[in-house]
């Protein structure tokens, strides 16, 4: 992705990264080894970054912005502002919180949807899993795998493991959407049986990342019940 800035505008992403490092260190120093990707912890990062960018942007674009004389017209003109993607730095102090709210709502929606799908499994559901969640000290570059539901018996879910592994959840989900893992040759033949309780536990531990359900079969409530449209 092409990153465009003018003058000191490049400080916007740098401040966000520095804020992430500071809040991560502060949280771990205070609370120990916790999941720093939790929503409230991300809020701390965006809050610190927004305040810093807002104050610095105002200072650079208003307090410290120089005035020059146009040689052709003789009129006073302000020097070019400090921008990031053509937006003055101080306005990113407003954009970042809006972006945080959007990604947080999207994450919560997907998490609730995953829980609902796990409580009401159907054949051909795809479970995206990450083996690194169970072995944090020995991370593999390619650890994301796809489980495909082949049968559901009461609270028992039969799944077969995909033959491919991926670097990220996005890569696996993209392959599913493109139809690259639909065939029987893309999965093993020996099923593994999990209870719904086990699958929910895997999600809570971070081993089960999300559920992909290709065809819409009706809206699913948070308790797993299908909601029928009148």
d(CA 149, CA 123): 5
Give yes or no: residues 97 and 130 share one domain.
no
d(CA 213, CA 126): 6
d(CA 121, CA 11): 47
Give yes or no: residues 56 and 129 share one domain.
no
Give yes or no: residues 53 and 147 share one domain.
no
First to last CA, the chain: 45
- Single out the residue in 62, 93, 111 at which a domain terminates: 111
d(CA 35, CA 206): 10
Give yes or no: residues 32 and 106 share one domain.
yes
Say which residues have a Cβ less than 8 Å from residue 108's Cβ, sequence separation at least 6: 39
Give yes or no: residues 85 and 174 share one domain.
no
pLDDT score of 49: 95
pLDDT score of 106: 87
Give yes or no: residues 140 and 104 share one domain.
no
Give yes or no: residues 207 and 178 share one domain.
yes
pLDDT, mean of each 10-residue run, the chain (230 residues): 85 95 86 64 89 94 78 76 93 94 87 92 94 61 87 95 91 90 85 95 91 62 38
Buried b (16+ CB within 10 A) or exposed e, 12-40: beebbeebbeebbeebeeeeeeeebeeee
d(CA 181, CA 189): 14
- Single out the residue in 66, 93, 111 at which a domain terminates: 111
Give yes or no: residues 13 and 100 share one domain.
yes
Neighbours of 125 (CB within 10 A): 20
Give yes or no: residues 187 and 94 share one domain.
no
The number of angstroms, rounded, from the C-alpha of 62 to the middle of its chain's C-alpha atoms is 35
Take residue 223 and report the two structure tokens written for it: 């308790």
Give yes or no: residues 48 and 127 share one domain.
no
- Single out the residue in 111, 131, 161 at which a domain terminates: 111
Our count of domains for the chain comes to 2
Domain that holds residue 99: 5-111
Give yes or no: residues 40 and 61 share one domain.
yes
d(CA 9, CA 83): 4
Give yes or no: residues 90 and 166 share one domain.
no
Instruction: Give the burial class of 96: count Cβ atoms within 10 A of its Cβ; 0-12 exposed, 13-18 middle, 19 or more buried.
Output: buried
């Amino acid at each position: 992705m092409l990153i465009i800035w003018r003058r000191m505008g490049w400080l916007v992403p740098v401040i966000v990264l520095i804020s992430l490092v500071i809040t991560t260190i502060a949280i771990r120093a205070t609370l120990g080894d916790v999941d720093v990707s939790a929503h409230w912890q991300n809020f701390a990062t965006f809050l610190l970054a927004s305040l810093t960018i807002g104050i610095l942007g105002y200072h650079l674009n208003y307090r410290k912005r120089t005035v020059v004389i146009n040689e052709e017209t003789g009129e006073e003109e302000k020097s070019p502002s400090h921008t990031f993607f053509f937006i003055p730095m101080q306005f990113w102090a407003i954009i970042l919180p809006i972006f945080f709210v959007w990604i947080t709502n999207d994450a919560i929606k997907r998490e609730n949807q995953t829980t609902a799908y796990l409580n009401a499994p159907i054949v051909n559901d795809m479970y995206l899993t990450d083996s690194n969640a169970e072995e944090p000290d020995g991370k593999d570059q390619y650890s994301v795998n796809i489980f495909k539901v082949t049968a559901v018996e009461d609270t028992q879910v039969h799944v077969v493991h995909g033959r491919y592994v991926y670097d990220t959840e996005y890569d696996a989900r993209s392959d599913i959407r493109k139809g690259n893992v639909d065939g029987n040759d893309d999965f093993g033949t020996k099923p593994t049986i999990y209870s719904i309780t086990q699958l929910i536990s895997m999600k809570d531990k971070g081993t089960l990342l999300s559920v992909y359900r290709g065809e819409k079969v009706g809206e699913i409530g948070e308790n797993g019940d299908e909601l029928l449209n009148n």
